[in-house]
Amino acid sequence: MRRVNSQLKYLSSQSWYQRINLTNGLITDGKISVSKRMEKIGKIDFFNKTVLDIGCNSGGNTLWAKKFGARKVVGIDKNEIRISQAKKLASFENTKIDYRCLDIFEYNPKHKFDIIMCFAVITEIQDLVGVLIKIKNLLGEQAYLELNLAKPKFYFSTSRTWLKGFNGIRRTRAITEIYQHKVGLTLSPSIELVQLIFGADFVVEKIGKGERYDLIKVFKKISED
């Protein structure tokens, strides 16, 4: 009982973004529900998988992966407070998760991950193409991403340098919209452009609406050899 009271005192002393359900019945007071986000994605087979959560915040998604059998889980976030919270919650749950206070471009492991999660981060990074390429290079099997997709109904351009005909993508589809975000100007790609970045070895599918942006799944094609 004393341990639970100590944990409750810690939770109430912190400001939370993620709403995380802990196994002892305690809940962090955040506005974005981890369980709702994962339910919208659908069942993910985490069992015995290696998992990377980019922009892990307070560790809600990493705890979820561990709960469902992930073998190794790494969470990275450049916010020191969030990483500190994630480590604390992992200690509450008595589970081992590798948390690192890093920018995604600073993280260079020597291996790929079976599953990569990156929710509501890509839309808030100015180097859209760079982060998608980084995820592609770290991806072994499947990725679940939440980002703001461009959704043009039609487009007209007289530019000769447009992507018309490039890799078979019509220019009404190969769109990147520009948004003003608190970090500066950011980009929102069409799903066809995301497919172009990941290339022919991967399939990119839209799952639906996430907690903030659009949810997409990226998975590697199975070799026929």
Q: Using DSSP, state whether 70 is helix, strand or coil.
A: coil
First to last CA, the chain: 57
Q: When comparing pLDDT for 57 and 171, which is higher?
A: 57
What are the pLDDT digits (tens) for 106-163?
A: 999 999 999 999 999 998 888 888 999 999 999 999 999 999 998 766 665 555 555 5
Q: Which amino acid is at 181?
A: H
Is residue 28 within 8 A of residue 19, CB to CB? The reply is yes
| Complete domains list, the chain, with CATH | 2-149+181-220 (3.40.50.150)
CB contact set of 211 (below 8 Å; sequence gap of 6+): 32, 33, 36, 37, 40, 119, 120, 146
Q: Which residues pair with 216 in a beta bridge?
A: 145, 206
Q: pLDDT for 32-83, tens place per residue?
A: 999 999 999 999 999 999 999 999 999 999 999 999 999 999 999 999 999 9
CB crowding 119-131: b at 16 or more within 10 Å, else e: bbbbbbbeebeeb
CB-CB contact of 62 with 56 (8 Å): yes
